[in-house]
Structure 1
Amino acid sequence: MITRWQAFLDDRNRFFWVLQAAGWFGYALVHYIGSLMHEMRAVYVLIILLGAYAGFLLTVPLRYLYRRIWERPPWLLIFVVLGASYVSASIWAVIDNATYWEVYKFGFRPESNWFYFKNALAKFYIMLSWSGLYFGIKYYQMLQDEKQKALMATSMAHQAQLKMLRYQLNPHFLFNTLNAISTLILIKENDLANRMMTKLSSFLRFSLDNEPIKKIPLQREIDALMLYLDIEKVRFDERLQVAIDITAEAEKAMVPSLFLQPLIENSIKYAIAKLEDGGVIAIQARREGDDLVLVISDNGPGCAEPEKLLQKAGGVGLANTRDRLQALYGKSYSFTLSTNKPHGMRIEIRIPFEQVEAK
């Protein structure tokens, strides 16, 4: 229903004709209701309809005239509107009086100049009102167009920003993965190298196939994240442990695609890689009221001042994810970086809980 109404408003030509017909029909209806207060002959209804029809026809040329002078200086617009309204009103008054005389047997005669003047003056006001409405609607449509263009430009800039943030994959990940595959080939671990290449291909395909401005179920996000972790596990072997605790309700929540990967990459780089015996990355997700709460934690060395680390972070790390969330959710999110107990880093993200749309 909304789409049809919007399509109707977007078709300016059809919109004009509908308003034109409705407006003059309303003019005739008002005159008819006013005539009920006086004793009039039935033929007066025809007079009203003919008068409205004459006004309908006379205002059509005004539309095309106003369109031609639309971008002229204001003083010229005012002069043309007054002149065109006066000429149209005079012609309408002559037609109206001729109709009165021919149909109603009462109209313009030499001794009724005052009646003709009042009739012409009233019609001049009506023509001015029509012109005012035309320009008012035209200016409103122009402002709406400018607003739509501004919104579209903002949206395109918003999407470009998201894509820039989303596609800033850390080149170290690709270099390290390709080096690991090269090493596996050199030591004749071809099967493992092939599996690693397959997972890398699947991960990159997922990354390119999912637009950053769209959202996916958390379960699908976790599946893509496991592709990334499987690649990293080849490099770190048993040193990298992952613990996932996600409720069934949270699995269906909609989240930005691949927004967890930079956080996990950050934990691997600053926690797992610095521990000789490796460490554990824990991923938790649950629903709390109208929010989806995600917690990513590790047992690495941590940082004495996590907030300063977040402020200094750049690239595809913590700041990148925070910027994506801000672009997508505005003020309806939180990104908290704190010290994990007994040691390590803890990231808590709160975003609006959005359910998977039913198909």
Structure 2
Amino acid sequence: MNWKNIIENKDRLFWLMHTGGWLGFVLIHYLSSLLHDLRDLFVIIIFLNAYAGWMFSIPLRYLYRKIWNSTPLKIALTVLLASYFTGLLWQIVKNINYWEIYKHGYRPEFLIHYLKNSLFSFSIMLCWSVLYFGTKYYQMLQTEKQNVLQANSVAHQAQLKMLRYQLNPHFLFNTLNAISTLILVEDNKTANGMVTKLSEFLRYSLDKDPMKRVTLDNEIDALKLYLGIEKVRFEERLKIEINIASDCRQALVPSMILQPLAENSIKYAIAEREEGGTITVSVSRFGNDLLIELSDDGPGANIVDGNIFRDKGVGLANTRERLQALYPGNFSLVIAQNNPNGVKVNIRLPYDNGN
């Protein structure tokens, strides 16, 4: 039985609790009859009284629906009055059942005796009413909770997508300019290869859901596409070294997490030096953590308290915010000077290979 579906289905939950409550009434009174050594005939009276209570309390549901949005005072007065008069009616039926069946047609001398023990019946109906409102408020709170969770999830996805698609437009502009230059000098073969790599890279960046992760192998392939495009621009000035531990290749990482870091290195390390430089990517595992390092051997940067002051774009801030959204409180991104020169970025993520 799927209890979640039962709780969320208001009608089903009402009839289940309504019937279950009156069956509980039968059980309690049956056990009480055994303690007081009443005749077996009293069991029939218990079931008739429970059935009458089951019937008389149903209209309360529809009355309470109508006053649901009323003021608290009006609701309280309505509940008290409705419970009281329903309890009186139920008590009259209970007394008649008792006199007709257990006392063989007994009739009281005064009509007021038909209301005997009505306070107990009123308390039962009042408890039914309180349970009804309590259940309704619980369902309302659960619905609000689901709405809040759904709204947070939608906002979370929107934030990730926004961060994910904040790729530096300079890369696209520079690439298109490079292709245009290659066409002008009639180096059509190189231009065609560059267009092919660009289309594959853009397809990868747009197709991957920012809410999902990809294997490190896929992410490295995308990084190679990006660096391959840049290598056409920089030729021998750009050198690339990639070292991946064998047990890390199927580890799951956020898609497009390395490209902004590599773009920073190209912009501030490779492009700044006439002789160019080397971008090194290393990935290893330490316990339950995946360790990623991307470094360059450029001129370095001003780093204070782990913050870099050479980046005016969104690359590093984008990466940090994406990691915070995907691994709240369970990641690290550290920027430091590389040895002997340059900058390195170290990322620590939870190791997860999908198993």
TM tier, shorter chain?
over 0.9
Distance 1:290 1:80, change over 3 A: same
Counterpart pick for 1:52 among 36, 50, 54: 50
Please tell me the root mean square deviation across aligned C-alpha atoms, in Å.
2.0
Q: Would you say the 8 A contact 1:168–1:315 is kept in 2?
A: no
Which position in structure 1 is the counterpart of 2:329? 331
Q: Secondary structure at the match of 1:243?
A: strand
Distance 1:115 1:350, change over 3 A: farther
**CA distance in 2 between partners of 1:7 and 1:299 (Å):** 59
Which position in structure 2 is the counterpart of 1:205? 203
Which position in structure 1 is the counterpart of 2:101? 103
Counterpart pick for 2:352 among 320, 329, 354: 354
Residue 27 (1) aligns with residue 30 (2)? no
Amino acid aligned to 2:338? N
CA drift of 1:109 comes to 3.5
For residues 132-175 of structure 1, give each alpha carbon's deviation from its aligned partner in whole angstroms, at most 9, with x where no partner exists. 11111111221222222222222222221111111011110000
CA drift of 1:26 comes to 1.4
Q: Would you say the 8 A contact 2:182–2:188 is kept in 1?
A: yes
**CA distance in 1 between partners of 2:9 and 2:149 (Å):** 20
Amino acid aligned to 1:5? W
CA drift of 1:117 comes to 4.4
CA drift of 1:298 comes to 0.9
Counterpart pick for 1:214 among 202, 212, 215: 212
CA drift of 1:249 comes to 2.3
Q: Secondary structure at the match of 1:36?
A: helix
For residues 204-226 of structure 1, give each alpha carbon's deviation from its aligned partner in whole angstroms, at most 9, with x where no partner exists. 11111112121111211111111
Counterpart pick for 2:37 among 29, 39, 42: 39
CA drift of 1:312 comes to 7.2
Q: Would you say the 8 A contact 1:306–1:339 is kept in 2?
A: no
Please show how residues 205-284 of structure 1 align to structure 2 within 5 Å: 205-284=203-282
CA drift of 1:102 comes to 2.7
Q: Secondary structure at the match of 1:287?
A: strand
Amino acid aligned to 1:257? S
For residues 107-140 of structure 1, give each alpha carbon's deviation from its aligned partner in whole angstroms, at most 9, with x where no partner exists. 8742587875453111110111111111111112
**CA distance in 2 between partners of 1:251 and 1:190 (Å):** 35
Q: Would you say the 8 A contact 1:203–1:224 is kept in 2?
A: yes
Amino acid aligned to 1:174? L
**CA distance in 1 between partners of 2:191 and 2:50 (Å):** 84
Q: Which moved more, 1:185-194 or 1:109-118?
A: 109-118
Q: Would you say the 8 A contact 1:97–1:108 is kept in 2?
A: no
Q: Would you say the 8 A contact 2:99–2:107 is kept in 1?
A: no
Q: Would you say the 8 A contact 1:314–1:320 is kept in 2?
A: no
Distance 1:235 1:100, change over 3 A: same
Please show how residues 1-359 of structure 1 align to structure 2 within 5 Å: 4-105=2-103, 109-111=107-109, 117-305=115-303, 307=305, 309-310=307-308, 313-357=311-355
Distance 1:118 1:285, change over 3 A: farther
For residues 230-255 of structure 1, give each alpha carbon's deviation from its aligned partner in whole angstroms, at most 9, with x where no partner exists. 11111111221221112222222221
Q: Secondary structure at the match of 2:300?
A: coil
Q: Would you say the 8 A contact 1:97–1:107 is kept in 2?
A: no
**CA distance in 1 between partners of 2:346 and 2:73 (Å):** 62
**CA distance in 1 between partners of 2:271 and 2:82 (Å):** 82
**CA distance in 2 between partners of 1:115 and 1:256 (Å):** 77
**CA distance in 2 between partners of 1:231 and 1:252 (Å):** 25
**CA distance in 1 between partners of 2:62 and 2:309 (Å):** 60
**CA distance in 2 between partners of 1:99 and 1:203 (Å):** 83
For residues 287-333 of structure 1, give each alpha carbon's deviation from its aligned partner in whole angstroms, at most 9, with x where no partner exists. 22222111111111111425475367453311110111112212111
Amino acid aligned to 1:224? A
Under a length normalisation based on structure 2, what TM-score does the superposition of the two structures give? 0.94
Distance 1:136 1:312, change over 3 A: farther
Which structure 2 residue ranges, 5 or more long, are not aligned?
none
**CA distance in 1 between partners of 2:110 and 2:280 (Å):** 96
Amino acid aligned to 2:88? S
Count matched residues.
355
Which structure 1 residue ranges, 5 or more long, are not aligned?
none
Distance 1:84 1:272, change over 3 A: same
Q: Secondary structure at the match of 1:351?
A: strand
